[in-house]
């Protein structure tokens, strides 16, 4: 269990670090987004105005981190499938074994989602920024929150709290249009 948690934290931190390497800015209707292809096998996209993910959270320095979960995960799942199923359906090839859609959620101390980072397999066509902008707005306006014990000493004074949701690209591709 300890090894699994260390691996998860390492992957989470690596996804943050890899985003700050070479990247391009893409203007949406209301926001500017950063897209990076520096994470091998993935395109990474996030809103340029994201503030939380640019600071190091103090809770990641602890060896034992209390549970952090995505609250109302079924709502997040519905939003993800609504926006990304049509994109993943277009890809007819085989995904590599490490391919995934990774949604990183960053919240304030009350669990309210403030920033989102998306990493998707490079096998999939470049996803239009309009899709990301609409997806981000839908998540930020939803009931999706991060759930954790904000009174636990590990989270005291942290800049943000983060958690991610990983989606299998095959399931995204094969999902019926029911969402």
Confidence of residue 18 (pLDDT cuts 50, 70, 90): very low
The predicted model gives 20-44 an average pLDDT of 85
First to last CA, the chain: 34
What is the per-residue pLDDT across 49-75, written as a single tens digit (0 to 9) for each? Answer: 988 767 788 888 788 899 999 999 999
Q: Say if pTM beats, i.e. exceeds, 0.85.
A: no
C-alpha closest to that of 19 among 63, 53, 51, 69: 53
106 in Cβ contact with 163 (< 8 Å): no
DSSP E strand stretches across 37-75: 42-47, 69-71
Q: Which residues contact 32 (CB under 8 A, 6 or more apart)?
A: 25, 26, 47, 48, 49
C-alpha closest to that of 103 among 15, 30, 176, 33: 15
Query: Domain map of the chain by residue range?
Result: 2-174
Looking at residue 111, the DSSP 8-state letter turns out to be: -
Confidence of residue 134 (pLDDT cuts 50, 70, 90): very high
pLDDT at 19: 43
Give the Cα separation of 138 and 80 in Å (integer).
10
What is the per-residue pLDDT across 92-111, written as a single tens digit (0 to 9) for each? Answer: 888 888 899 999 999 999 99
pLDDT at 57: 85
C-alpha closest to that of 167 among 90, 67, 83: 83
The predicted model gives 22-48 an average pLDDT of 89
Looking at residue 122, the DSSP 8-state letter turns out to be: T
Whether 14 has a pLDDT exceeding 70, the answer reads no
The predicted model gives 76-84 an average pLDDT of 96
Which stretch of 12-21, 48-57, 126-135, 160-169 has the lowest confidence by average pLDDT? 12-21
∠ CA 174-118-58, rounded to 5°: 135
């Amino acid at each position: 269990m300890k090894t699994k948690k260390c691996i998860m934290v390492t992957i989470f931190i690596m996804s943050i670090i890899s985003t700050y390497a070479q990247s391009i800015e893409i203007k949406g209707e209301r926001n500017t987004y950063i897209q990076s292809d520096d994470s091998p096998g993935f395109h990474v996209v996030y809103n340029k105005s994201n503030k939380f993910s640019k600071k190091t959270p103090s809770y990641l320095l602890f060896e034992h981190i209390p549970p952090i979960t995505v609250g109302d995960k079924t709502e997040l799942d519905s939003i993800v499938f609504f926006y990304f199923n049509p994109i993943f359906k277009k890809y007819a090839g085989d995904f590599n074994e490490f391919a995934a859609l990774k949604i990183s959620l960053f919240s304030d101390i009350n669990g309210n989602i403030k920033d989102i980072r998306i990493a998707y397999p490079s096998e999939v066509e470049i996803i239009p920024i309009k899709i990301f902008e609409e997806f981000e707005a839908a998540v930020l306006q939803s009931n999706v929150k991060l759930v954790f014990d904000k009174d636990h000493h590990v989270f005291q004074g942290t800049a943000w709290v983060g958690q991610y949701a990983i989606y299998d690209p095959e399931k995204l591709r094969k999902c019926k249009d029911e969402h």
